[in-house]
Chains A and B, each alone.
Chain A
């Protein structure tokens, strides 16, 4: 079973920041938090991952709470092309266990 809990859906206005929350209260000390997204009819696409510290790349920022029990993926300026299902995953022994994710709808 997936170790994460995400809201099933969210809306965001185009150009605004999208903040996608994820709870992973049972995460263990050496497990990473990964985020992937899946645009309709495509395979999942890696976004970012982190262990303890906040991370930023060209796609997004990942904020992990100090107790590591939750995290937030931030898309700083959402575009219509960011409409997708976003999966938060706690990586377990090399295996990605996907939940149902959050469907993000970016609206004009």
Chain B
């Protein structure tokens, strides 16, 4: 079974430029998560989707960050414009939340460097 796929794995951009990350979850998983992980810290949730609906985006900085999950499958996370402090690893995870205690499967992440 294929795991969570993320691309690109690495991205280097200059500040004020836009950037987008893509995630393909495990087939059949209805819930998708985007996390931000700063160096030496645990991942922090940015947004959680159940199917197409964003059910928790309270930690997403909406002035520059946006996300979408078209057709309840793939998802894209965008930053526009990027700032130096956005340098981090962006992780995507998915789960099947049939019982509410589903195991989350994480992708390898996209490491963003903003210069």
* Set of chain B residues within 8 Å of A99, measured between Cβ atoms: 42
Are B42 and A43 interface neighbours, CB within 8 A? no
| Bound Cα distance A96, B35 (Å) | 10
Are A32 and B101 interface neighbours, CB within 8 A? yes
Residue among B31, B42, B103 making CB contact with A87, cutoff 8 Å: B42
Contact flag A43-B108 (CB < 8 Å), given A49-B101, A94-B48:
yes
Residue A81 is within 8 A (CB to CB) of chain B in the complex: no
Please give me the residue from chain A that is nearest to B31 by CB atom: A94
Are B108 and A49 interface neighbours, CB within 8 A? no
Contact flag A98-B105 (CB < 8 Å), given A43-B91, A43-B93:
no
Residue B61 is within 8 A (CB to CB) of chain A in the complex: no
What is the count of residue pairs linking A and B with beta-carbon distances less than 8 angstroms?
46
Are B42 and A49 interface neighbours, CB within 8 A? no
| Bound Cα distance A78, B43 (Å) | 25
| Bound Cα distance A30, B37 (Å) | 28
* A residues at B contact (CB < 8 Å): 2, 32, 41-46, 49, 85, 87, 91, 94-101
The minimal Cβ–Cβ distance linking A27 to chain B, given in whole angstroms, is 14
Are A91 and B101 interface neighbours, CB within 8 A? yes
| Bound Cα distance A108, B29 (Å) | 39
Are B103 and A46 interface neighbours, CB within 8 A? yes
| Bound Cα distance A4, B97 (Å) | 23
Residue B4 is within 8 A (CB to CB) of chain A in the complex: yes
* Set of chain A residues within 8 Å of B101, measured between Cβ atoms: 32, 49, 91
Residue among B4, B100, B104 making CB contact with A46, cutoff 8 Å: B104
Residue among A2, A42, A46, A95 making CB contact with B108, cutoff 8 Å: A42
The minimal Cβ–Cβ distance linking B51 to chain A, given in whole angstroms, is 14
The minimal Cβ–Cβ distance linking A24 to chain B, given in whole angstroms, is 15
The minimal Cβ–Cβ distance linking A43 to chain B, given in whole angstroms, is 3
Contact flag A44-B106 (CB < 8 Å), given A91-B101, A94-B97:
yes
